[in-house]
């Protein structure tokens, strides 16, 4: 995934002013403030192609959410996708094989031990290539991951840690069996 080279600006940024007035209606807000909104002019953004894992359906490096009411098969779909990516199986439409890839699961409903792992095993996943995002380390220990506490940031950090080899599971750190 390529990072964008576009520079976004806050409303009070001098370089974001037009005709001597700030683009926020004329008020110069001075130095940036915590929680201040940052904008990007769409005309300044260079379009980039999407790198597809499964053409038109699943993009590399993007967060993919499967949402819906309980009992509709969200977990089954997710497990199937993770298994295909870990083992280069054909996509369900038969057009091509999935590229070999590592993946991270964030599940709000299913336990790893009684649902996710057994499902992945049944789908012939390479379990060495599938990770479960369990918690976020804090200065006070750890906290559960919630959608309100920034899943995208957590996801990006988990990807960076995986690439750098910095990941340590709770099991590795504390000798716990899960």
Q: How confident is the model at residue 162, as a pLDDT?
A: 60
| 30-75: pLDDT as tens digits | 666 777 888 899 999 999 999 999 999 999 888 888 888 988 999 8
123-134 as b/e: b if 16+ CB within 10 A: bebeeebbbbeb
Structure tokens of 109? 């409903």
Phi, psi values for residue 89, rounded to 5°: -70, 165
The mean predicted confidence, pLDDT, of the chain is 76
Question: Could you tell me the pLDDT band of residue 24, with boundaries at 50, 70 and 90?
Answer: very low
User: Is 130 a residue whose pLDDT tops 60?
Assistant: yes
User: Is 12 a residue whose pLDDT tops 90?
Assistant: no
**Average pLDDT for residues 161-178, to the nearest whole number?**
45
Q: How confident is the model at residue 158, as a pLDDT?
A: 62
**Average pLDDT for residues 143-172, to the nearest whole number?**
57
Strand partners, 130: 103
**Average pLDDT for residues 102-115, to the nearest whole number?**
88
Q: Can you list the alpha helix ranges (DSSP code H) found in 123-167?
A: 151-164
73 vs 7, higher pLDDT? 73
| 72-90: pLDDT as tens digits | 999 899 999 999 999 999 9
**d(C-alpha 41, C-alpha 18), whole Å:** 13
6 vs 103, higher pLDDT? 103
Give residue limits of the domains in the chain: 9-44, 52-174
Q: How confident is the model at residue 123, as a pLDDT?
A: 97
Q: How confident is the model at residue 90, as a pLDDT?
A: 97
Q: How confident is the model at residue 36, as a pLDDT?
A: 83
């Amino acid at each position: 995934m390529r990072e964008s080279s576009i520079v976004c600006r806050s409303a009070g940024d001098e370089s974001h002013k037009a005709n001597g007035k700030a683009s926020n209606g004329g008020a110069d807000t001075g130095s940036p403030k915590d929680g201040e909104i940052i904008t990007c002019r769409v005309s300044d953004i260079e379009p980039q192609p999407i790198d597809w894992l499964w053409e038109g359906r699943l993009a590399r490096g993007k967060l993919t959410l499967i949402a819906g009411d309980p009992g509709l098969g969200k977990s089954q779909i997710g497990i199937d996708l993770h298994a295909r990516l870990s083992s280069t199986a054909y996509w369900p439409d038969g057009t091509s094989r999935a590229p070999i890839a590592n993946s991270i699961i964030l599940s709000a409903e299913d336990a790893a031990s009684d649902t996710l792992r057994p499902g992945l095993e049944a789908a012939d996943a390479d379990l060495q290539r599938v990770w479960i995002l369990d918690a976020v380390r804090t200065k006070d220990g750890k906290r559960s991951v919630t959608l309100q506490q920034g899943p995208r940031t957590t996801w990006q950090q988990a990807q960076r840690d995986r690439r750098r080899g910095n990941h340590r599971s709770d099991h590795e750190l504390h000798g716990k069996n899960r």
